[in-house]
Structures are given as C-alpha cells and as structure tokens.
C-alpha cells in the first residue's frame, strides 16, 4: 500500500515534494523520488509485504521505471508461472510480470492495485487500475506535462483547476462523481479495469476486464470464498478484521479465524458500538460471533462527542465529496486499529452486492410485476401526466415507462428533486445519462435477469465509486489498508450468474 506520484514533462522538485507530503498518510514507512530524463516517479510506502527498504519502489530496470500502489495477493503463484526466482516482493513481481507479458499478468492478477510503468526509450507511459477500482489513480494532462497520483490533492499543485459544476448533479444522484470526471476541472480518474497509455502527445484508454466475458471459475462458491479469504491473509505485518455480527463480516471472520488457528495464530476482530443509539449498536452480535470463532475481540465505543471530533478529519480524508454517513465511525475504527499497530484489516464489503443482500432488490422485483397489470397502459399515462416529489412515485413512473427503474442502492435525489434543490432545470433523464453505458454493456451481454442488473450496477457504482473509495480514503488516512475478500473477481462475476435465486425469503 502506498501513495504514488509521477510526472512526464517539466516539473518543479519542490512541488513534487509537496505532493508527497500531501499523501504521507498513505505511506509513512518511506519516501523515494526517482528522477530521470523527461520526468520523475515518486512513492510514499506503507510496508505490508516485504517491509525491507530494499523493496521500496520506484523500480528501474532496462530504462523502464515502475511504481505500484496496492497488494498483489497471488504474487507467489504469478512469480512461479513466469519462472521468476527469489521474488519476495509483490510490487517487484508485478513489475517483472507486466513487463514480460501484460495481458497474461492482468488476466491472472488477484489483488487491489494501481500502478504506472514508463519506458524511457519509447517515451511511453502506462497506467493500470484493478478490475473493480479498489485503488484509485487520478491524472491530468495540460499539454506540457502529464501527472498521475493516488490522490487529487497531490495533482492540484501542478495544474490549473477549478470546481466542476457538472459533478454536483452526479453527486446528488449517486453520492459521488461517478464518471471519469472529478469535482476538479482538468483532473480525471482512470476507470476500474482499464489501462491508459500516453506517448507524449496522445492519451488512449482501453478496457482490459470485461465483467460478463469472465470465464466461470471451476471452484464451487464455498471454496472460492475460502480461497479468497486465505489469499488476503498474506502479509508480513499485523492483520485484523471488522466484525459487525452480520452475515457478511461473520463469514469472512470465521473463515479467517479458522485459517489462522490452523497456523497457531489468533484473529483480532474489531466492532464499533454507539452510546445512546442502541438501535444501531452491533456489539452484542459481534461479541457472540467473536466468542464462537475464538478471536481476540475489541469493542470501540462511539458517542456524540466522538462524532464531532471525527467529522473534520473524515471530511479532510476525502479528495472530493462522497456521501456516506458511516464514513465517520469508520474513521474512528481505522484510527483505533492503526494505533494498535495493525496495517491491514479484512472487511465484508461486497457481500450484499454479490449475493443480493439488500432488501431493496426484492422490493424492485415486486414493483416490476406491476407492468403486467391489465391497466398498465393507463397507469403509464397517469404517471407521465402527474408528478409527485417523492422517490416511490418516481420508481413506479420508471416501471411503467420502461425506463431504467433501478439505479443503484445508493441513489439519493431524483432528477425532479434536484430541480427543486438547485433551483435550475435539470434534464428529466439526467441521472440515466450517467449510467447508460453500463446498461448498454449489460444488454449487449445478453443477460435478462433483472436481479443481475441490480447487482451489476451496484458493483459498478455503489461499490466502485462510493464504498470502495470511502474504504480506501478513510483507511489510508489512517495508514491502514482494507482488504475485501468478497471483492475477488472469481466470486463477484460468478455469483451474479446465480440470478434471482440469490434472493432468499429472508431478504424479501
């Protein structure tokens, strides 16, 4: 885990150092700047695997420079498949394997990562982001220089920028800026599962991971989850786990505890509770689970005063607005866990999307049945002629108009509500335009099961642009990486194929 930075073109060394200072929380274990003809690469390192300084990127080999942020969990398997001897570092393995055969490496890599490689002889820069966007990478190109970094804050000193008004509409609909455009003009983010190349003049972006083209894993689902959890226990430092007592985190913690106990180690689990808000307190069920799985359990108590104490810190952790109130208690948890010497923690994030855990999924499947009513054509006209400023009305209007009814679990303001809030004319299909490309991809895949669409768009938007970015920014603000076993592509891509059989009577 690290904060990475690079410039191809003219640069100011002091500004580079300022950029690294702004990302020091992402990598407090070592800072390294590598300058070369035509630019520089730099990195703040959080040493989790192979913590020795001899493995501090950037790496240089045969006029090629490489910098890496994240974790490559299966680096030993990849090193073996490429016949690399003595590889002790996941980032060094990624460098060698990607340089050797980029396509084979990207197809086999299991992890969360964003990295950059620059070929000095060819004057060619390549950026890569993991399949689901667990690790961010931002970039800017002003014609005289190309800049990339793990955070927007690190790029701002090098470019002219201002607030991007169009991002506000995306934020109000989906709680984040969900396109390649950020809240800052001239600063962009590389989409998940894509590569970017820059040759000194032109920028080219290509998709390398097709969600629906992924081949089904031969492992059964249970073994896939066990394998994913075990891989994410790979570390040379202390690792813990979030435990709420719910199904997702309990499953992850139980499997992790089993593996660690087999190695004669104990899993450390952490739960947060709320003084004065017992209806949201999960400590009771978390404690029961911790006892059952034989983990070392720590309860973190969070009250009103803690909320206001953490609020400013939480806001500061975000480069740009992300709306999720759980960010504040998450900051408190990460701060405590990091202070206890942990650098990594497991999370159950992704379980609801993979296995249709949200109650809203079953609600929308029931709503869609209204299209088969004998007077559906009348209702279509009725909802089109009348307007009510609430989400339920909007949902039924979409159902009868054959529009995209479900637009993520985190959808906030409807287009009509945005009109009222902003006192401006927001196009009726404004929120649809932002997600149409995903719907087109879904239709082109030949899939028709609506539950698959709901999971797919939530993985792309709710997980990719909100939850995973929240986890990365809050975790790294406290020098803590958050690992999500359910976010393994073998699990996500295969679980969706189960269709609405994932939606149990309990969910309904």
In 3D space, the residue among 136, 157, 143 whose CA is nearest the CA of residue 8 turns out to be: 143
CA angle 433, 460, 400 (to 5 degrees): 50
Name the pairing type of β-strands 268-274 and 296-302.
Answer: parallel
Burial of 325 from C-beta contacts in 10 A (0-12 / 13-18 / 19+): exposed
pLDDT digit string (tens) for 31-52? 889 999 889 999 998 777 665 6
**Domain spanning 2-209, CATH architecture:** 4-Layer Sandwich (3.60)
Q: How far is CA 53 from CA 19, 141, 210, in A?
A: 21, 32, 36
pLDDT, tens digit, for every residue of 300-313? Answer: 998 888 888 899 99
> Which CATH number is associated with domain 229-354+463-502?
3.40.50.620
Q: Could you tell me if 438 and 456 are in contact, meaning their C-beta atoms sit under 8 angstroms apart?
A: yes
H or E, element range at 397: helix 391-400
Question: Helix %, strand %, coil % for the chain, to 5?
Answer: 45, 20, 35
Burial (CB count within 10 angstroms: exposed 0-12, middle 13-18, buried 19+), residue 436? exposed
Q: In angstroms, what CA-CA distances link 478 with 338, 346, 473?
A: 6, 15, 9
Q: Are 297 and 243 in contact (CB under 8 A)?
A: yes
Cα-Cα-Cα-Cα dihedral of 466, 467, 471, 473, to 10°? Answer: 0
Which phi and psi angles does 211 have, rounded to 5°? -55, -45
pLDDT digits 0-9 by tens, 313-343: 999 999 999 999 999 999 999 999 999 999 9
Give the Cα separation of 287 and 243 in Å (integer).
9
Contacts of 248 (CB under 8 A, 6+ apart): 348, 349, 350, 351, 352, 357, 486
- Written as six digits, the tokens of 467 are 């939850």
Report the pLDDT value the prediction gives residue 75, as an integer from 0 to 100: 94
Q: pLDDT tens track of the chain, all 508 residues? A: 689 999 999 999 999 999 999 999 998 888 889 999 889 999 998 777 665 666 667 888 889 999 999 999 999 999 999 999 888 889 999 999 999 999 999 999 999 999 999 999 999 999 999 999 999 999 999 988 999 999 999 999 999 999 998 899 999 999 999 999 999 999 999 999 999 999 999 999 999 998 877 666 666 888 899 999 999 998 878 899 999 999 999 999 999 999 999 999 999 999 999 887 777 788 999 999 999 999 999 999 988 888 888 999 999 999 999 999 999 999 999 999 999 999 999 999 999 998 888 999 999 999 999 989 988 889 889 988 887 888 888 999 999 988 899 999 999 998 888 988 888 777 778 899 999 999 999 999 888 889 899 999 999 999 999 999 999 999 999 999 999 999 998 887 677 766 555 555 545 4
pLDDT value at position 29? Answer: 80
Q: What is the DSSP letter of 184?
A: B
Measured from the Cβ of residue 127, the count of other Cβ atoms closer than 10 Å reads 24
- In the numeric block, the tokens 């493995």 are attached to 55
Q: What are the sequence ranges of the domains in the chain?
A: 2-209, 229-354+463-502, 359-457
Q: Do domains 2-209 and 229-354+463-502 have the same CATH topology?
A: no
- What's the pLDDT at 238? 87
Tell me the β-bridge partners of 250.
none
CB 463 within 8 A of CB 349: yes
Sheet hosting strand 344-346, strand order edge to edge: 296-302, 268-274, 239-242, 344-346, 481-483
Look at residue 87 in the predicted model and tell me its pLDDT.
86
In which region does residue 63 sit, left (phi positive, over 0), alpha (psi from -120 to 50) or beta (all else)? left
CA distances from 50 to 32, 47, 54, 89, 378 (A): 16, 7, 9, 5, 66
Q: What is the pLDDT of residue 508?
A: 45
Tokens standing for 60?
């240089």
Rounded distance between C-alpha atoms, residue 298 and residue 336, angstroms: 10
Name residue, tokens 């820059």.
198
DSSP state of 49: S
Sequence-distant (6+) residues with CB within 8 A of 479 are 25, 26, 27, 28, 46, 338, 343
Using CA atoms, how far apart are residues 318 and 335, in angstroms rounded to an integer?
15
Question: DSSP assignment of 297-311, as one string?
Answer: EEEEEE-HHHHHHHH
- Residue of 99, 94, 87 whose CA lies nearest to 109: 94
> Could you give the CA distance from residue 385 to residue 132 in angstroms, rounded to a whole number?
40
The pair of structure tokens assigned to 154 is 């690190």
Q: How far apart, in whole angstroms, are the C-alpha atoms of residue 387 and residue 177?
A: 27
Q: In the chain, how many H helices and how many E strands?
A: 20, 17
Give the distance, in angstroms, between the CA of residue 50 and the centroid of all CA atoms in the same chain: 24
């Amino acid at each position: 885990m690290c904060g990475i930075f690079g410039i191809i073109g003219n640069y100011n060394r002091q500004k580079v150092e300022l950029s690294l200072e702004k990302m020091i929380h992402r990598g407090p274990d070592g800072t390294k700047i590598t300058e070369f003809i035509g630019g520089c690469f730099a990195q703040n390192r959080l040493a989790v695997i192979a913590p020795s300084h001899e493995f501090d990127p950037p790496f240089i080999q045969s006029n090629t420079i490489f910098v890496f942020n994240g974790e490559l969990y299966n680096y030993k398997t990849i090193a073996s498949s490429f016949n690399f001897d003595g590889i002790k570092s996941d980032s060094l393995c990624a460098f060698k394997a990607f340089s050797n055969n980029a396509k084979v490496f990207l197809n086999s890599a299991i992890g969360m990562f964003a990295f950059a490689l620059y070929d000095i002889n060819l004057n060619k820069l390549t950026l890569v982001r993991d399949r689901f966007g667990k690790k961010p990478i931002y970039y800017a190109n002003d014609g005289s220089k190309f800049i990339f970094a793990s955070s927007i804050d690190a790029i701002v000193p090098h470019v002219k920028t201002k607030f991007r008004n169009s991002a506000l509409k995306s934020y109000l609909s989906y709680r984040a800026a969900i396109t390649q455009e950020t809240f800052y003009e001239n600063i962009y983010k590389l989409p998940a599962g894509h590569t970017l190349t820059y040759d000194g003049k032109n920028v080219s972006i290509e998709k390398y991971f097709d969600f629906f083209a992924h081949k089904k894993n031969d492992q059964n689902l249970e073994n896939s989850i066990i394998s994913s959890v075990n891989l994410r226990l790979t570390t040379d430092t202390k690792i813990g786990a979030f435990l709420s007592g719910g199904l997702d985190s309990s499953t992850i913690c139980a499997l992790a505890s089993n593996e660690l106990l087999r190695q004669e180690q104990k899993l450390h689990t952490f739960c947060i509770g709320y003084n004065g808000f017992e209806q949201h307190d999960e400590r009771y069920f978390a404690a029961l689970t911790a006892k059952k799985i034989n983990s070392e359990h720590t309860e973190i108590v969070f009250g009103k005063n803690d909320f206001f104490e953490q609020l400013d810190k939480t806001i500061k952790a975000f480069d740009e607005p992300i709306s999720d109130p759980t960010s504040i208690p998450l900051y408190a948890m990460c701060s405590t866990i990091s202070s206890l010497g942990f650098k990594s923690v497991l999370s159950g994030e992704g379980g609801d999307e993979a296995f249709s855990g949200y109650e809203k999924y079953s609600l929308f499947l029931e709503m869609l049945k209204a299209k088969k009513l004998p007077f559906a054509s009348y209702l279509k006209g009725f909802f089109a002629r009348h307007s009510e400023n609430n989400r339920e009305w909007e949902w039924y209007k979409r159902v009868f108009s054959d529009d995209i009814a479900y637009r993520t679990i985190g959808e906030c303001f409807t287009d009509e509500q945005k009109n009222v809030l902003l006192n401006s004319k927001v196009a009726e299909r404004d929120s649809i335009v932002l997600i149409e490309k995903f719907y087109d991809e879904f239709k082109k895949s030949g899939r028709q099961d609506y539950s698959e669409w709901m999971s797919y768009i939530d993985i792309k938007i709710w997980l990719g642009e909100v939850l995973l970015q929240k986890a990365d920014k809050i975790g790294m603000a406290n020098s803590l990486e958050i690992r999500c076993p359910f976010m393994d592509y073998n699990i996500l891509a295969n679980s969706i194929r189960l269709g609405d059989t994932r939606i149990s009577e309990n969910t309904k």
